[in-house]
Every structure is written in structure tokens, then in C-alpha cells.
Structure 1
């Protein structure tokens, strides 16, 4: 992971989040995706990917990157659930938000461990 592409990864994460909001707002889209994977799998994969992009695109030492990624994903997940509560065919869920946060914590912790080891070995 080169720092020359860090900004691209960070803004790619923001664009991916916007797509999550947009695609999740299309009537029937979530039901169609539910045929492929459960909500837990979809939320885990999506928000772990966001955490990865934010961690690798962020700045600071590994602990700061991990904390910023987790907090950002927590806000993103909460806002996603908030937006869903306005659609009659969707509903906001605390459980989904907990899955989002858990996925971010697992991913950021893993990345923190890898990044810390890489920096020490370098």
C-alpha cells in the first residue's frame, strides 16, 4: 500500500458509501440482494471494506488510523440506518448498525496489527 494512492482509497471509500446509500434506497434492491447473501454478510462485507479503505487512506499512526476508521464507519452506519427509516420498504435497525461497527472493529484491528508489524519490520 503506497501512500501515493492513499487519498484515492479514502475518497473511494466515501464514494462506496454514497453508493451504499443510493443503491439501498432503490425499491426492491435490498430484497434482490437478500437472495444472494444475508443482511449480516452484506453489512459485514460492505462496512469492513469501508473500514479498510478509510484505514489505508487515512493518516496518522496505526492506532489513530484504526480509531478514525472505526468512528467514521460507526457514523456512516448510523446515518445509513437513519436514512432507511424514512423509506416504507426499509427499516433502520440497531442490530445492523452493531454489525457495521463490529465489522469495522475487526477490520481495523487486523489492519492495525498488520500495519504496526510492517512499520516495525521496515
Structure 2
């Protein structure tokens, strides 16, 4: 059942739109005053960015169509744009700040996740 939900094309569109919804929640919740400081007590920014954008990469990769290489490229480029928009939005709030290093963490998490998924997809989907 888990394989059907997470890896088959049957629920691909659902996974893709789940990624978009989760991203919008990240933007909204991250813009609330004090929210980042509260969650920062549980995990560092590095951990939060890595896990959030790796998860989004998984959802976008498995929710996209095409060959594994196309899925990987789409996922990484989408995450790069999402991360850049997130950091840009943060720079407009006086209690937040957007940084290139956070964006680099987002892109690194996307590249690592997409690479692992590409390798696994090639190996186990065929």
C-alpha cells in the first residue's frame, strides 16, 4: 500500500500538489512573527531547510512525469526557484532575513535527494 501511495504514477499528481501545498504552508508559517524562533528551539535552520526541501524534492520527483533524468532536473530546478522565492519573501520582514546560504542548503538538499532518487528509480523501477 505504501509503495502504491509513494512510488506509482497513480498518485503522482496528488504528490505533486501536496508539495506545492506544503511549500505554501512553509511560506505562510515562516512569515508569522516568532514562528521561526519557536521552531528553531527544536532544530537548527540547516536541519529544517534540509529536511523540508528534501521532502519537497521527493514529492516533486515522484509526482512528476518523464524519464528519471527529467524528473530529477525538474525537481532540482523547482526547488531552486522555491528556495529563492522563500528567501526573497523573508527579506521583506523585519524579524526575518533571507540568506544565500539557506538557499544553497535548499539546493544541496534537492541535488542530493534527486540524485538518490534518480539512482533508485533507475535500479528498481525497471
Verify same fold: TM over 0.5: yes
Distance of 1:57 and 1:65 partners within structure 2 = 9
Distance of 1:48 and 1:39 partners within structure 2 = 14
Deviation digits for residues 75-115 of structure 1, max 9, x if unmatched?
00000000000000000100000000000000000000000
1:70 paired residue among 68, 76, 83: 76
RMSD (Å), alpha carbons: 0.5
> How far does residue 118 in structure 1 lie from its aligned partner after superposition?
1.4
Partner of 2:52: 46
In structure 1, runs of 5+ residues without a counterpart are none
Deviation digits for residues 34-90 of structure 1, max 9, x if unmatched?
000000000000000000000000010000000000000000000000000000000
Distance of 1:67 and 1:90 partners within structure 2 = 30
Q: Secondary structure at the match of 1:6?
A: helix
The residue correspondences of 1:4-83 to structure 2 (distance < 5 A) are 4-83=10-89
In structure 2, runs of 5+ residues without a counterpart are 1-6
Query: Runs of at least 4 residues of structure 1 off by over 4 A?
Result: none
The residue correspondences of 1:69-108 to structure 2 (distance < 5 A) are 69-108=75-114
> How far does residue 119 in structure 1 lie from its aligned partner after superposition?
2.9
Q: Secondary structure at the match of 1:37?
A: coil
